[in-house]
Amino acid sequence: MKRRKQIAIGERVSLELNEHERDLIIKHTLAGSNLTDRLRLVPSPGQRPVYRFTLDDLDELAGYVAAEANHAKVEKLKKELRRLFGRVADVLDSYTYEPD
């Protein structure tokens, strides 16, 4: 079993998304602006496209991606969203909140 890194509640973790993955979230999910506004910021040339989320935000984002993957009519879009969900889920599974 993979050991999860403990972080404080409210601490943010990194999620690297390429332009296509960002577009999938922004254009094909019902995620609110509280999650998508930060994705609209394009990194400077030479910088990695890394976005910071709390675990709660990531969990919410994963739910939107999964819901759209489950309802997508186009098979290619469904596969892309499922792959993206898997990446978000991997980040979520890497962390846990510190016990109170």
d(CA 100, CA 4): 16
Counted domains in the chain:
1
Q: Is the pLDDT of residue 100 over 90?
A: no
Three-state SS for 35? helix
The distance from CA 81 to its chain's CA centroid, rounded to whole angstroms, is 11
- In the chain the beta strands, taken as DSSP E runs, fall at 5-7, 12-16, 50-54, 95-97
Q: Using CA atoms, how far apart are residues 87 and 100, in angstroms rounded to an integer?
A: 28
Cα–chain center distance at 1: 23
Length of the chain: 100
Q: At what angle do helices 19-28 and 55-71 cross, to 10 degrees?
A: 70
Dump pLDDT digits (tens) for 2-54.
789 999 999 999 999 999 999 999 999 999 999 999 999 888 888 899 999 99
Domain coverage including residue 67: 5-97
Question: Are 55 and 64 contacting, i.e. CB atoms less than 8 angstroms apart?
Answer: no
Quick one: average pLDDT of 43-68? Answer: 95
Q: Is the pLDDT of residue 1 over 70?
A: no
Nearest by Cα to 66 from 90, 84, 39, 40: 84
User: Is the pLDDT score of 74 beyond 70?
Assistant: yes
Output the pTM of the full model.
Answer: 0.92
